[in-house]
Every structure is written in structure tokens, then in C-alpha cells.
């Protein structure tokens, strides 16, 4: 299978796709290693995880360089590798504390004569199917706490951005105690992975997430799904329009808008709409693309080959239905790569695809609202419920608005904070996800199966106690 370079447009990387037999063999190897891994205990596993983090740090250069080629991004690639190391260290520190807090003390049952003791064990084999937009972070965001919980982990990176797996396999060779492996390929490899594991996590589109959920249901295994979003931002009449415009721009276009938590719909109070739009356009026009030097500028190319066409189609459809392009609006092909400068749209309506469907690009459609009630209603008028944001004149007002929004995580006085704050527990709404949060304590505890130890503290009843006819 070949992967393309988003900066050149060339399919310049070839990698082997794992066969069904190879995936089964790797799963068996990991299952065989898992009991010893779990038996190390939280402190023992934490020590190995720290060794893993050190090895990642030592190989940061090759990992980031491979990632930069796959994504066309320079600075963010280094940030991703650092985030992986930090995530490993965070769970290595937090994990043992969580295990100390697990209650294994016997307690009297509500049923007289019995005591109950809770016990826990890890799911033997965890599986992850990762997306292409943040390949390193999202390949490991669930796998790391699963490993800390005592699971073995089998990860399928996206076939769109596979290059980082090669240097990371070299890292794993230095940490042989760690039961973590990668399998490579497309949808068929993901299907095979689901059939081998005991718990699966998927990050990606809602459409593919439904298929993963169906496949997991056939296997009768738990599935955690973090899916698409159409994240709204509400800007109230009391917000400073210049400040709000800067926040909205950053939260919409970082990583070329190719992030699940990117702001994709903006609802601004009519009282400040004019200065807000003026400031937003002025700021957007100062943003630079990273061409020809990937180390200079703000916005990189589209990673996925077909994404630029989908975003351009949304923009053109909106214009045909009455929307106005205030800046940007045209995909540019430079050096074989597809770029889109920040695109601000006005006069949008809720029925337009750019306001309804996930965009995954640096597009900022702005809807002017007559009152706060209308803004909240429009923000909630979506099939998604991943995250949202509120900008207001005070934190207290932002909190009041945020409690009305139907989303799992609400950024207050900022936008897209879910990538910056990794200990905030949240549950996605509607079609944006399924299962416990990957943040907070749940991020690890979801990988533990509970076992009830029920003790008879009196005299066990003889069979005659259940003789028919007694009453």
C-alpha cells in the first residue's frame, strides 16, 4: 500500500499491509504477554511506561520527521511527539494512585448474611483504530491508559499517515516488556483487529464509527467511539469583539481546521456583529500558509487527498445559496499540495451544508443572531455534540450559556480547549461518540472489569429450603 505526501501530492511511501494471519499471530503474542504485564502491578507497569517515555524522547527527531512528511506540518509534528511523551508520563504518575483508590474492602450487603468484595482485572487485549489528523497523539491517547491499566495493546494507525510507525517500532524494540504493537493497512485491517481484541477504541467519522460499533456488537465487546463534530461558538453581546475574533480564528484554523474540536459554526450577537466580522476578516488576512517553507506560516496543506475538494464544494454550495465570502474561499494548489487560506463566510443559513455537515478545514461561517435564545437554539440544532465554546463579557455569563449547550465539553472564554486540558472528564452527545470519556480518571478505569466476590457469612441454605410446596 502507498501513502501520499501532502506537500508534494506524490504517493512516495510504500508499506506492507498486515494479513489476517499476521494480525491473529500478533494478537496471540500480545495475549500471551499480557498476564505477566498485569502481574507487574501498577508501580511495575509505571516504571516500564517511564522507560517508554524516555525512549520516545530519545527518538523524537525521527518520529517527528516521519510525522511531518505524513501531515505536511512541522511545528505541530514536534508538539505531537512531545504530547505522546507527556501523556505516557502523566498516566505513569496517575495510574498507581488510581489503583490505590480502588475499593477492595469487604462491605456488608444490603441482603442480610452476605458480604461483598469488589475485584478488578484488565481487559486482556485492547485495540485502537486511529485517524489521520493527529496520527501520533490519537494512535496512543487510549492505548497508553489501557497499558497502564494492565491491558496489552494492538494499534492500527491510519493508512493515510503511517510513516511514524516505523521509528516507533524501533522505540518498542528498546522496551521489550511493553505489550504494544502496530498493524498496518486499511479498513480490512481494522475489521480484523476488532475480531481479535476484547475492547476497541475508534476515533474518526461518525459514518465509520457506526461500522465499528456494529462490528464490535457482533463480537460482543465494548466500543469507545470519538466521532465527528460540528462545534459551535457563541459570542454574546457583552464580549469584546476584537478579542472574540482572535479567539474564534485560532480555534477554527489551527492544524488547518483538521481537528475534531475545531470551531465550525460561529453565532454572534447582532449588537457586536459588525466590529466582530471586521476584526475577524482583518485577522484572517494576516494568516500565512506554510508554503514554500513548512517552518514558516500558520496553515499547512490538507492531509487527506480528497478533503480539499469536499471543503471547496461546501463553500461553493453556500455561495450559490446566498452566502458571501468575506475573505479566502478558494483552494490553491502549490507545489502539488492543496491549501486554503482562512475563509470567513457571512449570510449563512442553518440549512447549508457548511453549517450542517462536518467541514474539517479552515472555514468560519458566521451567523448573526438577534438574541441569546436564538444562538443557543441554533448551536444545538445539529446531529453532533462533541464540543462547543462560549465567549462572553464575564466567565459567569459564559458558564450560564455553556450549561445550555448539548455537547460533551464546553470551552469557556476560549475555544478548542479539549486538546490543551487532558484531565477534564466529558461524554459526547448525539452522534459524536459512545462510551466513557478518555479524559480524567475514566480514561484508565474503563479498561478494568469489575468482579463481585460475594461471601456467605452465615449458614448456606440446604437444597430442602427450596422444596416445592412449602409456603
Question: What is the Cα–Cα distance from 444 to 149, expressed in whole angstroms?
Answer: 6
DSSP string, 296-313: SSSB---SSTTHHHHHHH
What is the percent of the chain with per-residue pLDDT over 70, rounded to a whole number?
99
Q: How far is 320 from 284, CA to CA, in rounded Å? A: 23
Of 361, 347, 267, nearest to 314 by C-alpha is: 361
Torsion of CA 368, 374, 379, 380, to 10 degrees: -160
pLDDT interval class at 207 (50, 70, 90) = very high
Catalytic residue flag (residue 282): no
The string of pLDDT tens digits covering residues 390-414 is 999 999 999 999 999 999 999 999 9
The pLDDT of residue 140 is: 98
Across all residues in the chain, what is the average pLDDT?
96
Q: Per-residue confidence at 102, pLDDT binned at 50, 70, 90?
A: confident
376: part of which helix (H) or strand (E)? helix 372-380
pLDDT of 465 > 80? The answer is no
Per-residue confidence at 103, pLDDT binned at 50, 70, 90? confident
pLDDT of residue 133: 96
Burial of 464 (0-12, 13-18, 19+ CB in 10 A): exposed
Q: E strands within 196-283?
A: 199-203, 223-226, 231-235, 263-269
- pLDDT, greater one: 123 or 463: 123
pLDDT digits (tens, 9 = 90+) for 182-201: 999 999 999 999 999 999 99
Q: In this predicted structure, what is the pLDDT of residue 439? A: 86
First to last CA, the chain: 72
Query: Catalytic pick from 226, 264, 358, 397?
Result: 226
Confidence (pLDDT) at 471: 52
Catalytic-residue membership of 214: no
Are 237 and 271 in contact, with CB atoms under 8 Å apart? Answer: yes
- Provide DSSP, 46-63: HHHHHHHHHHHHHTHHHH
Q: Identify the DSSP state of 289.
A: B
pLDDT at 470: 58
DSSP helix/strand/coil, 32: helix
Q: Which of 38, 260, 358, 397 is catalytic?
A: 260
Residue with cell 430442602: 464
Q: How many CA atoms lie within 13 A of 431 on its CB side?
A: 17
Q: Apex CA 183: angle with CA 179 and CA 187, to 5°?
A: 140
For residue 276, give the C-alpha cell: 466582530
Contact by Cβ (8 Å): 184, 15: yes
What's the pLDDT tens digit per position in 107-141?
Answer: 999 999 999 998 999 999 999 999 999 999 999 99
Quickly count: other Cβ atoms within 10 Å of residue 453's Cβ. 11
Read off the pLDDT of residues 1-16 as tens digits, 9 standing for 90 and up: 999 999 999 999 999 9
Average pLDDT over residues 432-447: 93
CA torsion 175-179-180-181 (nearest 10°) is 100
Q: What average pLDDT does the segment 42-52 reach? A: 98
Amino acid at each position: 500500500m502507498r501513502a501520499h505526501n501532502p506537500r508534494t501530492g506524490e504517493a512516495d511511501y510504500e508499506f506492507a499491509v498486515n494479513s489476517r494471519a499476521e494480525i491473529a499471530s500478533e494478537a496471540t503474542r500480545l495475549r500471551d504477554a499480557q498476564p505477566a504485564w498485569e502481574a507487574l502491578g501498577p508501580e511495575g507497569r509505571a516504571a516500564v511506561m517511564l522507560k517508554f517515555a524516555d525512549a520516545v524522547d530519545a527518538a523524537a527527531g525521527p518520529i517527528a520527521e516521519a510525522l511531518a512528511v505524513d501531515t505536511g506540518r512541522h511545528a505541530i509534528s514536534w508538539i505531537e511527539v512531545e504530547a505522546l511523551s507527556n501523556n505516557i508520563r502523566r498516566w505513569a504518575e496517575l495510574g498507581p494512585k488510581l489503583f490505590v483508590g480502588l475499593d477492595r474492602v469487604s462491605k456488608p450487603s444490603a441482603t442480610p448474611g452476605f458480604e461483598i468484595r469488589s475485584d478488578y482485572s484488565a481487559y486482556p487485549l485492547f485495540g485502537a483504530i486511529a485517524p489521520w489528523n493527529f496520527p501520533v497523539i490519537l494512535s496512543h491517547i487510549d492505548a497508553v491508559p489501557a497499558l497502564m491499566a494492565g491491558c496489552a495493546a494492538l494499534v492500527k494507525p491510519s493508512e493515510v499517515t503511517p510513516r511514524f510507525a516505523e521509528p516507533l517500532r524501533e522505540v518498542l524494540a528498546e522496551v521489550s516488556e511493553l505489550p504494544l504493537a502496530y498493524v498496518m493497512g486499511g479498513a480490512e485491517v481494522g475489521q480484523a483487529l476488532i475480531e481479535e481484541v476484547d475492547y476497541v477504541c475508534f476515533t474518526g467519522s461518525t459514518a465509520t464509527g457506526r461500522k465499528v460499533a456494529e462490528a464490535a456488537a457482533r463480537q460482543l465487546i465494548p466500543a469507545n467511539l470519538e466521532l465527528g463534530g460540528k462545534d459551535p461558538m457563541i459570542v454574546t453581546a457583552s464580549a469584546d469583539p476584537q478579542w472574540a475574533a482572535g479567539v474564534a480564528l485560532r480555534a477554527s484554523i489551527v492544524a488547518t481546521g483538521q481537528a475534531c474540536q475545531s470551531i465550525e459554526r460561529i453565532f454572534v450577537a447582532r449588537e457586536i456583529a459588525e466590529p466582530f466580522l471586521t476584526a475577524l476578516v482583518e485577522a484572517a488576512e494576516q494568516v500565512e500558509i506554510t508554503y514554500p517553507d513548512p517552518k514558516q506560516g500558520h496553515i499547512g496543506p490538507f492531509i487527506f487527498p480528497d478533503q480539499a475538494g469536499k471543503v471547496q464544494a461546501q463553500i461553493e454550495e453556500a455561495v450559490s445559496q446566498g452566502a458571501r465570502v468575506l475573505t479566502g474561499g478558494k483552494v490553491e494548489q502549490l507545489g502539488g499540495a492543496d491549501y486554503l487560506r482562512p475563509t470567513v463566510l457571512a449570510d449563512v443559513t442553518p440549512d447549508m451544508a457548511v453549517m450542517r455537515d462536518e467541514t474539517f478545514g479552515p472555514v468560519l461561517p458566521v451567523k448573526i443572531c438577534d438574541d441569546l435564545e436564538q444562538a443557543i437554539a441554533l448551536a444545538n440544532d445539529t446531529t453532533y455534540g462533541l464540543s462547543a465554546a462560549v465567549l462572553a463579557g464575564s466567565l459567569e455569563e459564559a458558564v450560564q450559556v455553556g450549561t445550555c449547550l448539548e455537547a460533551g465539553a464546553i470551552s469557556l472564554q476560549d475555544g478548542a480547549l479539549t486538546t490543551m486540558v487532558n484531565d477534564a472528564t466529558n461524554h459526547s452527545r448525539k452522534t459524536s461518540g459512545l462510551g466513557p470519556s478518555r479524559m480524567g480518571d475514566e480514561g484508565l478505569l474503563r479498561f478494568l472489569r469489575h468482579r463481585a466476590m460475594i461471601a456467605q457469612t452465615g449458614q448456606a441454605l440446604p437444597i430442602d429450603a427450596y422444596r416445592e410446596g412449602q409456603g
